[in-house]
Structure 1
Amino acid sequence: MQYIRLGNSGLQVSKLCLGTMNMGTPDWKPWIFNEQQSEPIVRHALDNGVNFIDLADFYSAGVGEEVVGRILKRLARRDDLVVTTKVGYGTRTGINASGHSRKHIMESIDASLQRAGMDYFDIYMLHYFDTTTPVEETMEALNDIVRAGKARYIGVSTMLAGQLAKLLLACERNGWTRPINMQLQMNCAYREEEREMIPFCRDQGLGVSVFSPLARGLLTGDVQSTRNQTDFFTQQMYNDEASFEIARSVQRVALRHGVSNAQVAQAWVLQHGGVDSMLVGADTTAQFDSALAALDMRLDADDLYELERNYTPCDVINDYTAGKRILRVARPARGPFDLQEAVA
């Protein structure tokens, strides 16, 4: 396993972060694993050096934190782990049961700690940018949580660069704890974060962890998975011809190297200069091994051109723009991947 220092903090995390959205209860969504099914995957990740674990109170409406918390307690020492959870979407209905108000944040941190069976989280993260709550209210609440010892650091996820700038400015003006990590979506088929967010995070000293490196399964070649057949977000995010062409390019590079499509897609993310850590939401230990192999894979210039040549700008993917994709046109192939010679 490889380890990095997250942003300008002293916190060291594994390059692979175990994503746990698929762990909890199938009562929430049909593709979720229960505790017995989840434990071998968690064990395999820990055995291979992963110390970075990603949770959210939203996953399985809180059951995810319970399930993963119990598994971690059986398998590892708490102080050896870097555990993060997210707040925002909530676990129940109610007018104040979601968002980033002080009321909801303070209630949520205590509920998450109780469910996970932990005294603190290493990173407590905003799941998105709440446009209805003043940023000063949100960031002061997070600062108070760190000062109370309920979280060691704070982080953010899935927002625009300008929104992150507002959060950082509030922290600077008031001397509050700053976020150390931005968790964002990026893969061969979605690269909009390269334009502003990643350079801004680098400039401001935030680490960058990436989720959905396989574009919700599109880049593996398996678009018929249970998740993709029951999760309409996949269709909203990756249902254009440019995305399909990128998936075909991933397959061409995989055939050239004799490896899986998933390994190539993950290697592209891990090799990206703006990425510190990549989330792996594995359904099997074999899927996790694909990410381990991607750590050591090096894509050459021809590979990178083939993987990137079909990409053109698209609407940002977040909670406010779902389903508003623009048409995209691919560039021609070249070199060993000329379409007249390449395997379709």
Structure 2
Amino acid sequence: MESRRLGASGLNVPALSFGAGTFAGRGPLFGAWGTTDAQEARRLVEICLDAGVTLFDTADVYSDGASEEALGKAIRGRRDQVMLSTKTGLPLGEGPNDAGTSRSRLIKACEAALRRLGTDYIDLLQLHAYDAGTPVEEALSTLADLVRAGKVRYVGVSNFSGWQLMKSLAAAETYGHPRYVAHQVYYSLVGRDYEWELMPLGLDQGVGALVWSPLGWGRLTGRIRRGQPLPAQSRLHQTAEYGPPVTDEHLFAVVDALDSVAEETGKSVPQIAINWLLRQPTVSSVIIGARNEAQLRQNLGATGWTLAPEHLARLDAASHREAPYPYFPYYRQAGFARLNPPVRHATSARP
């Protein structure tokens, strides 16, 4: 498994990581993702480790903490072989301090995650969403305390906008707090909005992308085709309302391109969709999920080979959407493009 730096940090992570959202699935959303029990979870962890996948991602909101508990049990006796990533900040109750990233909430959430995961430190702790009610300085100083206490090694965020992330990075630099080295983002062939602002920011500031839902919320599994009904087993029946929207026209244009590349390469549609992501700037790791061993082995096959330039170009063209203002001038007006060259094929990052 290829190893990559996580942003501008010194931490190396595998190009593919495993998302434990399917572990112990409870409720309408996470139950539809998967209901992997403890025995199957341990088996999936074994397969990952054999393949060189050592980073495992979860969150306290996944099945109300049950995902963290299941992951903790699955890695028992192997803590020194894995890196654990978890997220906090989304609501876990109705109380006034049951959501957000205040000092009180972050300390409480970190201690609870450590207990559920059965460990004394978290390799990467990420804020699951921006909390407009808490000053960024308060969240950053609390994370700094957790790092100094040895309970957290690295810090990151998830689902931030560009200004939210940049404001946080500026405050970290001003006050000497640990910088966010990772941004867990939605990015896929049917959802390329990440490229408009967050990718240039990540490249400039040394923030690595951890990609969630690389198959477009289950749309790029290879089972959804133009003119055919949604497969009965598709999780989109239960979860479409929760995920990023995609028009049918755009989806099927991408699927048609994937099908043509699959026919020429002998690779599956999911493998091609994931491999395309691994070729993009700032992507440190793509988080793959799996309900069972067969799905996991299928996704692991996305590495160890490279799409040809003509295949990349075909997928780029099919998945392209015109960027909104103020990003579209980069494509339409030469003067803007000269000042702000595209970053899609850039390889450097802030040291």
TM-score, structure 2 as length reference:
0.84
RMSD: 1.9
Q: Does 1:48 align with 2:51?
A: yes
Residue identity opposite 1:5 in structure 2: R
Q: Which amino acid aligns with 2:264?
A: R
Q: Could you tell me whether the CA contact under 8 Å between 2:40 and 2:292 is conserved in 1? A: no
**Residue 312 (structure 1) aligns with:** 321
How far is 1:246 from its partner?
Answer: 0.9
Deviation at 1:221, TM superposition (A): 2.7
Residues 216 and 234, structure 1, Cα contact 8 Å, conserved in 2: no
Provide the secondary structure at the position in 1 that maps to 2:302: helix
How much does 1:178 deviate?
Answer: 0.8
Aligned partner (choices 59, 63, 67) of residue 60 of structure 1: 63
Distance across 2 between alignment mates of 1:136 and 1:305: 43
Alpha-carbon distance in structure 2 between the residues aligned to 1:150 and 1:306: 45
Deviation of 1:115 after TM superposition, in Å, equals 0.9
Residue number in structure 1 paired with 2:97? 96
Cα separation, partners in 2 of 1:194 and 1:187, compared to 1, 3 Å: same
1:162 positional shift: 1.1
Check 1:177–1:236 CA distance in 2 against 1; reply closer, same or farther (3 A cut).
Answer: closer
Task: Write out aligned runs for 1:189-338 (5 A).
Answer: 189-223=190-224, 224=231, 225-233=233-241, 236-310=244-318, 311-313=320-322
CA distance in 2, matches of 1:273, 1:118: 33
Q: Can you list the C-alpha shifts for 1:214-247, whole angstroms capped at 9, x where unaligned?
A: 1112112335334211113366522441122112
The residue type paired with residue 97 of structure 1 is D
Give the 3-state SS of the residue equivalent to 1:21 in structure 2.
Answer: helix
- Equivalent AA in structure 2 for residue 100 of structure 1: T
Number of residues of Structure 1 aligned to a counterpart in Structure 2: 314
Q: Deviations over 1:35-77 (max 9, x none)?
A: 2332221211111111111111011100110111011014x2x
Q: In the superposition, relative to structure 1, how do residues 191 and 25 fare at CA in structure 2: closer, same or farther (>3 Å)?
A: closer
Q: Within 5 Å, which residues of 2 pair with 1:111-190?
A: 111-190=112-191
Q: Which residue of 2 aligns with 1:29?
A: 31
Note the alpha carbon deviations across 1:5-28, whole angstroms, 9 max, x for none: 212222111111111111123455
Assess if the C-alpha contact under 8 Å between 1:41 and 1:283 holds in 2: no
Q: Distance in 1 between matches of 2:149 and 2:244?
A: 41
Cα pair 2:121 2:152 within 8 Å, conserved: yes
CA distance in structure 1 between the partners assigned to 2:242 and 2:137 by the alignment: 34
TM-superposed CA distance for 1:119, in Å, is: 0.2
**Could you say what secondary structure the match of 2:85 adopts?**
strand
Higher relative CO (CA 8 A, sep ≥ 6), structure 1 or 2?
A: 2
Q: Which amino acid aligns with 2:122?
A: F
2:217–2:244: 8 Å Cα contact kept in structure 1?
A: no
State the secondary structure of the residue aligned to 1:85. strand
Structure 1 residue 200, shift from structure 2 partner? 1.1
Structure 2 unpaired stretches of 5+: 225-230, 325-351
Measured after TM superposition, the shift of residue 266 of structure 1 is 0.9
What's the CA shift for 1:148?
1.4
Distance 1:236 1:291 in 2: 21
Normalising to structure 1: TM-score of the pair?
A: 0.86
Check the 8 A contact 1:219/1:265 in 2, yes or no.
Answer: yes
Q: For 1:79-90, what aligned pairs fall within 5 Å after superposition?
A: 79-90=80-91
5+ residue gaps, structure 1, are 316-344
Q: Distance in 1 between matches of 2:143 and 2:301?
A: 37
Q: Which residue type is aligned with residue 251 of structure 1?
A: D
